[in-house]
Chain A
Amino acid sequence: MASHVPVVEINDVSKRFIIRKEKSLKERLVNAGRSKQFKEDFWALKNISLEIESGTTIGLIGQNGSGKSTLLKTIGGIIQPTSGTVRRRGRLAALLELGAGFHQDLTGRENVYLNASILGLSRKQTDLYFDDIVEFSGIKDFIDTQVKFYSSGMYVRLAFAVAVHVDPDLLLVDEVLAVGDEAFQRKCLDKIRSFQREGRTIVLVTHSLGQITEFCDRAVLLNRGEVLFDGVPHEAVKDFREVLEERRQDEAEEHNATHEEKVPVNNGRILATTVHAAGRAEGDPVQPGDDLIVRVTYEHPTGIDDWIAAIQIDNVQGVPVYGTASLRTGLELGTLREPRTVEFVLRDVQFGTGKYFINSTLMNSEKVHLHDVPQAVSFDVPYYDLAVGLVHAVPEIRSFGA
């Protein structure tokens, strides 16, 4: 096997966008002298160098505006870098926006030919694969209808069908796998897998971190136009979560700074929430089997006799994973006035890999929420290479028979 065959070489690429705030001739003339004021430089990419080898699937992740789509477009040649070079070899297909080449007034059939041609397929080849394409899209009955009458789902299915039937060596995919119904998505992901088996190179931009760890051999984390991490997907995902967490905290602080007085003080409030595993320091990863200790401090200015302390644990997607409250364990808390701390000890937690957030709530006896602190603190559960999912369990896999 000819190992080490680079198919893309990105060499010290930077991209500057100039953000102008006026567009018409009049505005430009009027503002000609002061044009500096109306321009702003924005570096979408800063000195990026990457080499992508043949047959790998590489994921680009990062927050919105981190430059991942711009990087993908420079690989595709759609955007010219301000400095540096991008070179590549082999046939390229870009799935940047499904149906970009579709024309509303043409029929599905005509659009298949047009789009296939845009993606570099000859007419003969398109003839040969036309039936496959229609079959894959599953919209046989509408193929001779103008695409403007298509539902958005049909549109996307046809576009994807065309795109995966061209024969690319390098496939660029930007956020398009999240389309269509579940069955179609499954079909798309299967297609991606068969592309991988065939040794095609795939560059994937996605916000679904699950897809990154599931499909990619390598992940590149971008932040503000720079490569923050380049390597094993699950580590990139972990780093990315940290970036997101930092941003979340910054935003929360900003939010608190501007909304401080809005907290209804008369109703009592949550002063602090902390989390750590028994025997570990705050901020350390939580291992399966640990006892998780959550401490929440409350106060109430006018005093309240009957109250409930509650917590809920969400995963990154915001799915509630766990929740409990003082009411459930039958604990009588007595009067709350001065700051008091309640400790929740969660025995033998078995969370799956990832980041989890704790929402903290103070309720009165009628379960009216007096104060909520969403995502008050977070904790991490380290990568476990034997299994994926929200729940931790040690797998033992045996086979029976010959």
Chain B
Amino acid sequence: MAGSLESPTERSARLLAEPWQYAGGPSSGVSGTIASIREIWEQRRLLRLLTGRELKSRYKDSAGGFLWSLAKPLTQLFIYYLVIGQFLGAARGIENFAIYIFAGLTVYTLFSEIVGAGTGSIIANSGLVKKVYLPREIFPLAAVGSALFNFAVQFVILIIASVVVGTLSFGPQLLFGLGALVLILLWGTAIGLLLAALNVYLRDIQYLVEVVLLLLMWASPILYSWQQAAAILPQWLLEIYVNSPITLAVLGFQEAFWSEASNGVPLPHLALRMLIAGAVGLLALFGAQRVFSRLQGDFAQEL
């Protein structure tokens, strides 16, 4: 037996000293969130294993392995560069267009993977959800983990490419990249958690998410510059557009890895906007966790 040398008497004496715990998820309110975070922290090793499982199983029987995770973004980069940049002429107004696109795509892909995989995560793990009690947040979080891994690979390529092209230089502007990453993690996790829970009750969500993610990609300045949108959008819509966390994260990444050497025009008050979006994102994450925690009680029977 696993390390058990205690006698029945010792066992019951130890159990008598142990505090009661309530079966199932932690209670509501702020204390519930803190309890959830503690639970997840205790399961961090499992979180790592689940993330590894996601990654391992995805490319398990392929010879190319995780290199395939690069195929899609690189192809996207190539198509957009050629068709939008050259054929349609978007590259004329934007220097180092390839780096520009790739910076935006890298950070957007992270968001899209977190939300996409997060939404389906509870259902994909229904076998576990129905049979074992675990803090269920770890399934969407494992999706965040595996998305981060793919992001890291792309990120390395982005760094190499921007060094080669010469758009990367050391300076305080790199903090925008960090801010953008934090912004995406906050908002992606919040939305992923919320949708993962809702998707259990209404399976239409996962299909809806695919469509919306496609839309959101074009609703942020990844393939064109924000000034181009500013020239056309009415004022109220423009405010929403530039203050969306995704736009801000994309701009943040461009600021860090592209702007300096490419005469980019920064959005006014970018740092402040990102700070505000980050603060709101933190609140959103808290709210999403509350909703998730309330809905998760009935997961096992809905699956």
**A residues in contact (CB < 8 Å) with B:** 1-3, 5, 7, 9, 17, 23-25, 28, 54-55, 73-80, 85-90, 92, 94, 96-97, 100-101, 103-106, 110, 113-114, 117-119, 121-123, 125, 128-129, 146, 165-167, 169, 194, 197-200
Contacts and interface: CB of A to CB of B under 8 A. Distances in A.
Contacts of B57: 103-106
Contact of A200 (B11, B50, B61, B131): B11
A100 B131 CA distance: 7
A87 B22 contact: yes
Instruction: Say which size band chain B's interface belongs to.
Output: 35 or more
B88 interface: no
B62 to A, nearest CB: 11
Nearest to B46: A117
B2 to A, nearest CB: 4
Contacts, number: 147
Contact of A125 (B3, B23, B132, B300): B3
Contact of A89 (B20, B129, B134, B297): B20
9 contacts: A17-B301, A55-B12, A78-B130, A85-B22, A86-B24, A97-B127, A114-B50, A128-B2, A167-B3
Given A97-B130, A114-B49, 15 more contacts: A1-B8, A2-B16, A3-B12, A76-B133, A80-B25, A80-B298, A89-B20, A94-B132, A97-B127, A101-B128, A101-B131, A105-B56, A117-B49, A119-B132, A125-B3
Given A2-B12, A79-B300, A105-B60, A198 B20 contact: no
Contacts of A3: 12
B12 A54 contact: yes
Contact of A24 (B19, B22, B203): B203
Contacts of A94: 131-133
Nearest to B125: A101
A100 B130 contact: yes
Interface in B1-56: 1-4, 6-9, 11-13, 15-16, 18-25, 45-46, 49-50, 53, 56
A5 B15 contact: yes
B35 to A, nearest CB: 13
Contacts of B202: 25, 28
A90 B18 contact: yes
Nearest to A196: B8
Contacts of B8: 1, 55, 197-199
A23 B12 contact: no
Nearest to B207: A25
A6 to B, nearest CB: 9
A199 B11 contact: yes
Nearest to A80: B297
Contacts of B127: 97, 100-101
